[in-house]
Chains A and B, each alone.
Chain A
């Protein structure tokens, strides 16, 4: 266990909080900025969720019921952009902001003003993107993948989409730079790299992924912009360009992006499971190397999204085997989480329930991903609801369940109050059951041949679509309960102890609950070799 902590005994002196709106607008405090990221992500989660409700409402029955096909396509496109760039990524960065300085014994993030800027870019970017919903010609409707030539048919919304993506990329890169600088330069004495909590490790690796992949996306959308407005032909066959080039470039960003979304979730679960199993994480070093391996391999698998586009047999084989190889380090992680629980003194508080669901349901999403990675099989599944089921298992029951687990896990530390455990468990069971009712039937729909991104479908798909929509509505409503639990916890409740959970270890649990405005005004001493456990 880490031995924290020489505080200077003058927390009150340093605990002055600026008042009013200025506290938030000009904040350079990692906790305030983390809170803003998390609140922003929650708002975006509900905006993206409302779009998902419209999608499931339209698909409740065959035939066009409620919305026009063009608007339906806008909903699928903007839902994805909002959930990926507005909800999951900012939630991960919010947790990183709150937790990394406290976990490594730093006073704050390395570059606090840049931290403020990387957050405040986000509302501007999403104002640009969401304003397109009210424009003539509607919001972007060609899919979040923005493939040309289809995306070039977007009306007035096109430059707004491109600049929104640019701003989101800038925000992510600045955030990544800050995280790397913080972990490399601001660790407390004795906090060596191999003592870092797994959550910190997963974020270092994620930050490098962001710096390597975001500029590629930015370059690709810049070329789209010049193709549309400045007469270039990067992706126009008529001008000597190649539309397939965009797909290669997009997925060279897009596949690492998947791991940008999921690696912090791995880190969260790696903190929570040992706490409630009351055992150190099994195979800490293997977990670090597995995370790094996954990140490295993610740059060599992009074309598995494009098997049906056509490529030489050698290319198909390479990308198929490269994709399969990612299952090895991922399997190491699943094994280690299970081994951590083996013969542990387990209890099942809400964060643990969400983490257990994560391990099982993320594995289902991983297995369907392996199926999609098999080239000849992918020819059957490509662009069907099987793909929709796959990535929602990975991102909803994977990333979002882990993020929810994290909020329940650290909420008592942040607020100083325990949340309502009964309501938390209600939230878990409602979310867990409804998410499976929502997404599992989509496997059947896809295997039966239902295409994705369509507002209408053949009557043979009616029953499972109805089941899926009912699951969707219950899942959406269940999240209101989550908001109620969080607000109730912020407003009051049983006092949380400093350690909060019996099995919790690490520097953040040595601080008071709630922690002072500035965490470690003098660096703590980390003396024990098992700080991470």
Chain B
């Protein structure tokens, strides 16, 4: 039977943890970007 490409096993809990961490880090990056520009506004 043909396997899908993503054959590795990641539990739903780990996948959720990965997503949460990614969202937090992305928000930090976005916050730095927006905050930095806002800081320069006079």
Contact = CB atoms under 8 A, between A and B. Distances in A.
Select the residue from B2, B5, B21, B25 with max chain A CB neighbours within 10 A.
B5
Contacts of B33: 215-216, 218-219, 222
A237 to B, nearest CB: 14
A180 B8 contact: no
A180 B21 contact: yes
Interface SS of B by simple majority:
helix
Interface string A210-221: 011011101100
A16 B7 contact: yes
A219 B36 contact: yes
Interface stretch (A44-52, A104-112, A326-334, A379-387): A104-112
Contacts of A234: 40
Given A180-B25, A215-B33, A216-B32, A522 B9 contact: yes
A125 B17 CA distance: 30
- In this complex, the member of B6, B10, B29, B36 whose beta carbon has the largest number of chain A beta carbons within 10 angstroms is B29
A460 to B, nearest CB: 44
Interface in A106-125: 107-108, 110-112, 114
A324 B29 CA distance: 29
Contact of A110 (B6, B18, B36): B18
Nearest to A172: B29
Nearest to B31: A215
Contacts of B14: 185-186
Given A215-B36, A222-B37, A223-B40, A108 B6 contact: yes
A240 B8 contact: no
A173 B26 contact: yes
Contacts of A18: 5
Interface string A466-510: 000000000000000000000000000000000000000000000
Given A16-B7, A518-B8, A177 B22 contact: yes
Contacts of A177: 21-22, 25-26, 29
Contact of B40 (A114, A176, A245, A519): A245
Interface residues of B, number: 26
B21 A211 contact: no
B8 A108 contact: yes
A181 B28 contact: no
A351 to B, nearest CB: 29
A227 to B, nearest CB: 11
Nearest to A522: B9
Contact of A521 (B7, B17, B25): B7
A71 interface: no
A201 B18 CA distance: 19
A54 B22 CA distance: 42
Interface string A167-207: 00000010011101100111000000000000000000000
A13 B2 CA distance: 9
Contact of B5 (A28, A111, A249, A520): A28
Given A240-B42, A245-B40, A173 B29 contact: yes
A367 interface: no
B16 to A, nearest CB: 10
Contact of A185 (B3, B8, B18, B28): B18
Contacts of B8: 14, 107-108, 518-521
A29 interface: yes
A180 B30 CA distance: 17
Interface of B: 2-3, 5-10, 14, 17-19, 21-22, 25-26, 28-30, 32-34, 36-37, 40, 42
23 contacts: A13-B7, A14-B8, A18-B5, A29-B5, A108-B10, A173-B26, A177-B22, A177-B25, A177-B26, A180-B21, A181-B21, A185-B17, A185-B21, A211-B25, A211-B32, A215-B30, A216-B32, A219-B33, A219-B40, A249-B36, A518-B7, A519-B8, A521-B7
Given A13-B7, A180-B21, A186-B14, 9 more contacts: A29-B6, A107-B8, A111-B19, A177-B21, A180-B25, A215-B33, A219-B36, A222-B37, A245-B40
Nearest 4 interchain pairs by C-beta: A107-B8, A215-B33, A215-B32, A219-B36
